[in-house]
Amino acid sequence: MKNKILTTTLFLSLAMPLMNASAGSEPEAERQALVKHFMDRFGSTDFEGHKLKIEDFRHGANIFDPDKMAQFKGSEEFPAYLDHLEAGEKLWKKPFANGKTYASCAGFADTKQIRAKYPFFDDGRGEVVNLDQAINECRTANNEKAYAFGGKDKDLTKVLAYLANESRGQKISVAINSPGALDAYNLGEMVFHTRRGQLNQSCANCHIGSAGMRIRSELLSPIVGHTTHFPSYRSSANDLVSLQQRYVGCMSSVRALPFPANGKELKALEFYEAFMSNGLEIDGPAMRP
């Protein structure tokens, strides 16, 4: 864990006091420090008639550019993902070959009460369970083929979009209350702060240290808010992109060999990023460039 504090000078000043106190074992203190870090940097920025609040961070990089925010709002009026939402709903309601539906699986009865429960750490199984995985486990329990992960199966992303939309307005609330959950958090944190690839960049370099700055033509989003709005509809790809798929994309963009989508590392990363977004509204799916 020590290497992580060397990733950026900006992060150094943020992490040092915490490292002394807790050696990375105080997720809530780390989250609050991160929020304070962003509020110290951006809290005096005007955003839609008020000073930027942490709740606004669900809009990603749009918070740094009024023109982008206006474009985003315009695109959300008749969003390009409407067909995908409808397709996701159909998939959700379509009976499996055995006659049952997703609603028969544990915790899946009420579509409005699903998205906000994920990701969570399952102590019995000793692993992070995210929604992608839970959907697949429901399928295989009903003798259906699992969807391929990492964007290889479009149907999974459509189902994710439908469930995200059903839970709009609810808040991210990831709990860490066991040693296993803490280990997963620490693994996710390490993945986030480790430099990698030919460009030798960590997630933190771009999404903490350089948040609000431009890389080529793109404004960089802060980590806080990263998990609120997925799957996102990327106009550049003309398609829905899941959070796991985005992780793989960002790893490839620094020319690193990506971890597999929904493997241990990227589920831990999702757990860490979701914890850092605690208290923010779920508003997926959302348009992104």
> Cα 48 to chain center, whole Å?
24
Exposed/middle/buried for residue 127 (C-beta within 10 Å: 0-12, 13-18, 19+): middle
Backbone φ and ψ for 55, nearest 5 degrees, come out as -60, -30
Q: Which is nearer to ligand HEC, 34 or 269 (CB)?
A: 269
Backbone φ and ψ for 237, nearest 5 degrees, come out as -100, -10
Concerning whether 250 is annotated as a catalytic residue, the answer is yes
Q: Does 288 bind ligand HEC (CB under 6 A)?
A: yes
Q: Which is nearer to ligand HEC, 181 or 240 (CB)?
A: 240
Q: Does 250 bind ligand HEC (CB under 6 A)?
A: yes
Catalytic residue among 105, 138, 206, 250: 250
Nearest by Cα to 59 from 219, 236, 257: 219
Nearest by Cα to 4 from 224, 265, 208, 261: 208
- Write out the two tokens for 175: 């709990």
Q: Does 251 bind ligand HEC (CB under 6 A)?
A: yes
Q: Which listed range, 124-132, 143-151, 177-185, 199-207, lies at the site for ligand HEC (CB under 6 A)?
A: 199-207
Q: Does 8 bind ligand HEC (CB under 6 A)?
A: no
Interatomic CA distance for residues 28 and 5, integer angstroms = 17
Q: Does 207 bind ligand HEC (CB under 6 A)?
A: yes
Q: Which of 134, 181, 206, 208 binds ligand HEC (CB under 6 A)?
A: 206
Q: Does 57 bind ligand HEC (CB under 6 A)?
A: no
Length of the chain measured in residues: 289
Q: Does 261 bind ligand HEC (CB under 6 A)?
A: no
Query: Which residues lie near ligand HEC (CB under 6 A)?
Result: 60-61, 192, 201, 203, 205-207, 215, 218, 220-221, 226, 232, 246-247, 250-251, 253-254, 269, 288
Active site residues: 250
